[in-house]
């Protein structure tokens, strides 16, 4: 049954991630669509999601989406591959019809998969992602639906998100794990010419990855792809655009401490921000 307590008035666009990674998507979205209002929600108290089970990722993601709905968002972007892989479909198919069929939740995997097909010449793609995203098999399945004869080789990188969340990603210790995962991926398939960063945290180590791979291999980072896809979506759905307020504002919410969020978020956004604490539920 529809949640009657939710307002039907236009509201900000909600951007959700388990932690800071979604800020890499938010930054590009705001560059393309600066006129809208945004609320960013980072579930930093429970990050990382990438090593958690399907049920837990689904439960946590739904709680965050509901929170954004209660704050007036009519449209929410899951700026997290793990949540997109493990929770998006259930939320779209089972929860939205109950909560409010007119609201929308979008993910980051589909736009990335749409874009990547034209980028590979060898038809061999590598995926670097969290264990959750890799185990879900979402990328190979979505690629097979849209593109013929593309071979996807996946490498789970369980330590990258914790290293980035703890601001240790530029340390010598991080080099070891980044090199190990990138080498393992290329050893499995030497024909890879395109590597997808299937985690919104990974743009922060993109330069390190670039330094480890041969010049002919290109890296696909999701920020711009997702931002352009949202521009396209809002053009094709003027009724959704009309439900998103346009005041150019941004609020940052975190389930962790505001000081911690503000200081780490500045690494992602390269600017000082103010955050608000939120308790879910």
Would you please indicate which residues are annotated as catalytic (active-site) residues? 80, 199
Phi then psi for residue 26, to 5 deg, are -55, -45
Q: Which listed range, 115-123, 134-142, 171-179, 195-203, lies at the site for ligand DGL (CB under 6 A)?
A: 195-203
CB-CB contact of 231 with 35 (8 Å): no
Shortest distance in whole angstroms from residue 161 CB to ligand DGL? 4
**CB 56 → ligand DGL: shortest distance, Å?**
11
Helix extents (H) in 71-194 = 81-86, 88-90, 96-99, 109-116, 131-136, 138-146, 160-165, 172-188
Q: Pairing relation of β-strands 13-17 and 38-42?
A: parallel
25-84 residues in contact with ligand DGL (CB under 6 A) are: 47-50, 80-82
Q: Which two tokens stand for residue 114?
A: 């749409």
Shortest separation between residue 202's beta carbon and ligand DGL, angstroms: 8
Least distance (Å) between residue 199 CB and ligand DGL: 4
Of positions 161, 186, 240, 250, contacts ligand DGL by CB under 6 A: 161
Q: Any contact of residue 12 with ligand DGL (CB under 6 A)?
A: no
Please name the residues in contact with 110: beta carbons below 8 A apart, sequence gap of 6 or more: 142, 229
Does 19 contact ligand DGL by CB under 6 A? yes
Q: Rounded to whole angstroms, what are the CA distances from 49 to 73, 115, 150?
A: 23, 25, 28
Instruction: Enumerate residues 243-262 that contact ligand DGL by CB under 6 A.
Output: none
200 is a contact residue toward ligand DGL (CB under 6 A): yes
Q: Residue 248: which region, alpha, beta or left (left: phi > 0; alpha: psi -120 to 50)? A: left
Question: What is the binding site for ligand DGL (CB under 6 A)?
Answer: 17-19, 21, 47-50, 80-82, 130, 133, 161, 199-201
């Amino acid at each position: 049954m529809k949640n009657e307590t939710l307002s039907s008035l236009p509201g900000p666009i909600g951007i959700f991630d388990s932690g800071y990674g979604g800020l890499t998507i938010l930054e590009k979205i705001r560059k393309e669509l600066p006129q809208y209002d945004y609320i960013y929600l980072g579930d930093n108290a429970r990050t990382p999601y990438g090593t958690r089970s399907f049920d837990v990722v689904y439960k946590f993601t739904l709680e965050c989406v509901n929170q954004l709905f209660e704050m007036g968002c009519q449209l929410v972007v899951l700026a997290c591959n793990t949540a997109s892989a493990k929770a998006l479909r259930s939320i779209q198919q089972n929860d939205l019809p109950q909560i409010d069929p007119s609201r929308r939740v979008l993910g980051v995997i589909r736009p990335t998969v749409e874009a990547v097909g034209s980028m590979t010449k060898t038809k061999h793609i590598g995926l670097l992602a969290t264990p959750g995203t890799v185990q879900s098999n979402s990328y190979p399945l979505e690629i097979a639906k849209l593109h013929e004869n593309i071979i996807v080789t996946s490498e789970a990188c369980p330590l990258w998100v914790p290293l980035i969340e703890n601001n240790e990603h530029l340390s010598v210790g991080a080099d070891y794990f980044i090199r190990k995962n990138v080498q393992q991926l290329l050893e499995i398939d030497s024909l890879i010419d395109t590597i997808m960063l299937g985690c919104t945290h990974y743009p922060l180590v993109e330069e390190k990855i670039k330094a480890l791979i041969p010049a002919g291999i290109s890296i696909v980072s999701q920020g711009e792809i997702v931002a352009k896809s949202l521009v396209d979506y809002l053009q094709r759905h003027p009724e959704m655009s009309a439900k998103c307020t346009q005041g150019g504002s941004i609020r940052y919410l975190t389930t962790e401490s505001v000081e911690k969020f503000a200081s780490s978020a500045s690494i992602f956004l390269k600017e000082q921000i103010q955050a608000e604490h939120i308790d879910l539920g």
